[in-house]
Amino acid sequence: MNTFRENLLAGKNAFIAGGTSGINLGIAKKFAEYGAKVAVVGRNPEKAAHAAQEIGHDAMGLSADVRDYDAIRCAMENVASAFGSLDIVISGAAGNFLAPVNGMSANAFRTVIDIDLNGTFNVFRGCHDLLNKPGASLIAISAGQAVNASALQAHACAAKAGINQLIRVLALEWGPEVRVNGISPGPIADTEGMKRLAPDPAARDAHYARIAMKRWGLIDEVADSALFLCSPAASYITGTILDCDGGSQIGDASRIDLSRGMA
């Protein structure tokens, strides 16, 4: 390991909600690799302990549901007292399932709003007085569905749109001491989300053609985006939502026929 890697986040303490699996676990591993002290939080205590072990570097694993403000605040206080303070907070816990609005109870809609949007409010609201300021960096995990409507995901679309605005408002209210940004991952391989949203391999292969980069992204590529946003290289970036999606949101790449312009 070279010195740059070891030092980039040295002395930084990170709290990662939803960090026990998927993209957020990838971010936790990346941050630990680059020198941060890391705590991951998820609903399931065994999963949290296992994730901490997988991350290594003396990572902490705690259980709390982001829907429960008191529980998430208590987890943050425990981490801040163990680490000293918090420099980086990631809000990444998410829930999703495919259902038309007519097949969704009020509780079903509320459940996803509670996990994604209210959970992000709870994580960010709960951490502010524990942050090492100035210089703290917060990231929420959003999605392209915040901007582009997607049938069967009214709950997730509404929640992610709310998250984008929450990011912008907090960047205004908490600047210049705290930077608040989002990452909007496109389709990312080996995630619970894509297992749920694209379970069929044939549909998945057809989907590649529509993406400018002609493939799904890697968890490690999203983790690199998080590393950038939390690093000094992003010191003038706040209130932005960084698309890490291979160009998924810019248009349908399968409809392009360049030969029509070659005559």
Residues in touch with ligand HXC (CB under 6 A): 94-97, 99, 103-105, 107-108, 111-112, 143, 145, 153, 156, 160, 192-193, 196
Both tokens of 150, joined, read 């997607």
* Residue 174 or 216 having the CB closest to ligand HXC: 216
The minimum distance between CB 108 and ligand HXC, in angstroms, equals 3
Tell me which residue has its CB nearest to ligand HXC: 95
Distance from CA of residue 80 to its chain's centroid? 21
Nearer to ligand HXC, 71 or 94 (CB): 94
Nearer to ligand HXC, 1 or 151 (CB): 151
- Closer by beta carbon to ligand HXC, 35 or else 193: 193
Between the alpha carbon of residue 191 and those of residues 35, 83, 110, 196, the distances in Å are 25, 29, 23, 9
Is residue 31 within 8 A of residue 38, CB to CB? The reply is: yes
Minimal distance in Å, beta carbon 221 to ligand HXC? 16
Tell me the closest approach of the beta carbon of residue 99 to ligand HXC, in angstroms.
Answer: 4
Nearest residue to 122 via CA among 145, 146, 96, 89: 89
- d(CA 157, CA 143) in angstroms, rounded, equals 8
Instruction: Please state, in angstroms and as integers, the Cα–Cα distance from residue 234 to each residue in 128, 160, 247, following that order.
Output: 20, 23, 21
**Smallest distance from ligand HXC to CB 148, Å:** 10
| Smaller CB separation from ligand HXC, 86 or 93 | 93
Q: Outline where DSSP puts E strands in 24-177.
A: 37-42, 60-63, 88-91, 136-141
The least distance separating ligand HXC from the CB of residue 85, rounded to whole angstroms, comes to 29
